[in-house]
Copies of this chain bind each other. A is one copy, B any other.
Amino acid sequence: MSLLGPQLSRSFQSASPPPDDDHDLGRFGARMGFARNEEIYAQDEEADLFYRVVSGVVRTTHLTSDGRRHIGDFYYAGDVFGLDAGKTHRFSAEALTDCVVLVVRRAAVGRAADTDIALQRLIWTATCRELERTQAHLMLLGRRSACEKVASFLLEAANRAGGDLVTLPMGRQDMADYLGLTIETVSRMVTQLQSEGVVRFLDCRSFKVIRRPALEAMLA
């Protein structure tokens, strides 16, 4: 981490604030690469950095003391993560695939960011987006059947992929831990949706949306 220190502190002295939410974070942080399944930060680790995915996919997970695993979210290129924190991270973050992330010093928000309003607004915007996604996730877990959960998961994956041919970066266990189901139930629902002609799986990681309206109807 000492590698990051000088670079980050220099970049925060920048005097010309970028105009908008969509401005490039590149000049603020350092790029780091992570191998598949490598840990980016740990649960309960102090939260002095946050991150943006450059390439690859990241998942955040939470382990409870009785051994149950819960997945907070999946982050794709462009997504900001690591804001799930008071003083320490409630989740750990792991590289789901090989990936590259941009690392930004978070302490700047608490102290130095008074001098950089654009950065502060970027962080707030990202936090809002995170909150929205978490709330949507909440309603998914709260009052939906296993079939509806899996259907909406696949639909969102399709929306992210921007087409009807989707390759999932995660396996069944990750889907299960995200949806609050067991791996067996996920598998059964996938099979069921396929037998209903809603989706068609080519292999266990990639599928085609056949009847999108049917999928959308399940979100209620």
Contacts and interface: CB of A to CB of B under 8 A. Distances in A.
Contacts of A128: 83, 85-86, 127
Interface stretch (A3-11, A117-125, A188-196): A117-125
A64 B90 CA distance: 29
A90 B72 CA distance: 20
Interface string A139-154: 1011100000000000
A180 to B, nearest CB: 4
B117 A180 contact: no
B141 A142 contact: yes
A85 to B, nearest CB: 8
A72 B70 CA distance: 20
A9 to B, nearest CB: 19
Interface in A88-145: 90-91, 109, 114, 117, 120-121, 123-124, 127-128, 130-132, 134-139, 141-143
Instruction: Tell me how many chains of this kind the complex includes.
Output: 2
- With most chain B CB atoms within 10 A of its CB, the pick from A62, A70, A84, A143 is A143
Interface residues of A, number: 36
Given A70-B139, A120-B120, A141-B180, 5 more contacts: A68-B220, A91-B135, A127-B128, A131-B134, A134-B138
28 contacts: A64-B220, A65-B220, A68-B220, A70-B138, A83-B131, A84-B131, A84-B132, A84-B135, A86-B128, A90-B132, A90-B136, A91-B135, A117-B117, A120-B124, A123-B124, A124-B124, A130-B131, A131-B131, A134-B134, A134-B135, A134-B138, A138-B138, A138-B141, A141-B141, A141-B142, A141-B180, A142-B180, A143-B180
